[in-house]
Chain A
Amino acid sequence: MAEIMQQDERLILLEALLFAAEHPMPPKRIIQFLGKSAKTDLPELVQKLNDSLAESGRSFRIREIAGGYQLYLMPTYTRAVEGFLKKQRERRLSQAALETLAVIAYKQPVSRADIEHVRGVNSDGVLASLLERKLAAIVGRSQKVGRPLLYGTTNRFLEYFGLNTLDELPKLDELVLPEDDTGFENQVEMQLESENETETPEHSEIHAQSDKNSFE
């Protein structure tokens, strides 16, 4: 009985901590807060908290992202609270920015010359704007002639694209079907579909739950 009490207490503490955090909270810091026992059962605690949030029909859940845990509002409620958003949301990324990021993400650490070689076009300006938005960062210098700067993606990149780790990006080779006629759009859709199939059960449960509680 005492153990159960203790776990309930830790669940509340975990919720409080994630509520207070603006950015994804690394497991290390959560463990500091909850005590060493969380080292082994943190994923279990998160799962339990998510289950209880779903059971009581709450509007938010916890997810693992950019190597940490974060509270997020379920998409069903996005429209209801949009008015409270920061005045200016970040602009969407341009095609040039997405392409450049794709090269950086898959080839990192990568120099500007390598990026331009792949894209076949000057990428100076777009790279500068990615650095400014902290989606990419300088990660070192190459040993090659001229010791060019090398770029890589950031935690902010993971957060922005809803990734926990870079491994969650599809393998580059899997993206290309030789002789494909499906076209670009179809491929993206196919990719998303296969992603949905592998969705964790609790995630689909969230969707079901949120439908029940939608404002309409």
Chain B
Amino acid sequence: MTREELFAIDPMSGEESVSYSVHLEKFEGPLDLLLYLIRQNEIDIYDIPIAKITSQYLEYIDLMRMLDLDVAGEFIMMAATLIRVKAKLLLPRQKDDYEEDPREELILALLEYKKFKEASGILHARETKERDILKRSDFSIIDTSPADAFVLEATVFDLLTAFKKVMEDYSREAQHHVKREDVNVEEQMEHILNMLRNADGIEF
């Protein structure tokens, strides 16, 4: 898929409006975008050319800005990470030191994310298949699910939370025994003087 296909900008039908409806390949996050770039460039995920990927990544973020899209903070953070990794790779390494590849953390994160993205594809396929199978509950005229769900889905944990809240409210309302304490100035003067006598200094 080319960049041109990535962004298809359709002017909205309204004549006086200057706004555009923008359809773009939606990336769920920086990792998703990186995976896309890796696939597009046919790059080995275990040996990412950081410089190349970083510049493409930044290009993409510029493009998002140009289109007036909100660039989420995570995308910016990933840009910073990429630049940091790139900088680390430029630094000379000590020969006899088994230093880890600066890219390692990033690659592990990408591999982990990739697994779950694939798993989400399985779920998507199952969802599609399942929507074709109708059950009696799909036909109810009166939707009783909220009430039902409340009864069925409450777990022991819900119960404990509710119980805890009740107990907290209860105890908060009830027990307050306030005792009056008699304090006189002389005693307090004595107290402070004692403290000063026994210590080098006191912090207030």
Contacts and interface: CB of A to CB of B under 8 A. Distances in A.
A183 B114 CA distance: 11
Interface stretch (A4-12, A27-35, A66-74): A66-74
A22 interface: yes
A176 interface: yes
Nearest to B128: A92
Residue of B28, B78, B113, B130 ringed by the most chain A CB atoms within 10 A: B28
Interface string B145-164: 00011001101011000000
Say which size band chain B's interface belongs to. 35 or more
A23 B148 CA distance: 10
B132 A102 contact: no
A214 interface: no
Interface in B19-63: 26, 28-32, 39, 42, 44
Interface stretch (A36-44, A46-54, A118-126): A118-126
Contacts, number: 153
Interface in B48-82: 72, 74, 78
A98 B120 CA distance: 5
Interface residues of A, number: 58
Nearest to B74: A121
Interface string B75-117: 0001000000000000000000000000000000101111111
A93 B29 CA distance: 17
A209 interface: no
A176 B114 contact: yes
